[in-house]
Amino acid sequence: MPSRAFITAGWWGYFICAAIYVVAGIRAGDWLGLTGSVFFLLATVSFMIPHYRNRKGHNDD
């Protein structure tokens, strides 16, 4: 399995965790936790954008 597939799986893992934390913050009514979770989710998306933008024509393996 190419290393890029592991990186992609890792980013999706972070994304899913961040989404779960957002839902947990909403359900608990914890605005501080919710704010941190939203920032975590946005940061994860910001790292995923260049990963997918550069996927064609680049093979690091």
**Whole-number Cα distances in Å, 59 to 5, 17, 48, 51, 55:** 11, 27, 17, 12, 8
Tell whether the model's pLDDT for residue 5 goes beyond 70.
yes
Instruction: State pTM to two decimals.
Output: 0.78
At 54 the pLDDT is 80
Q: pLDDT higher for 57 or 15?
A: 15
Tell whether the model's pLDDT for residue 56 goes beyond 70.
no
Tell whether the model's pLDDT for residue 32 goes beyond 60.
yes
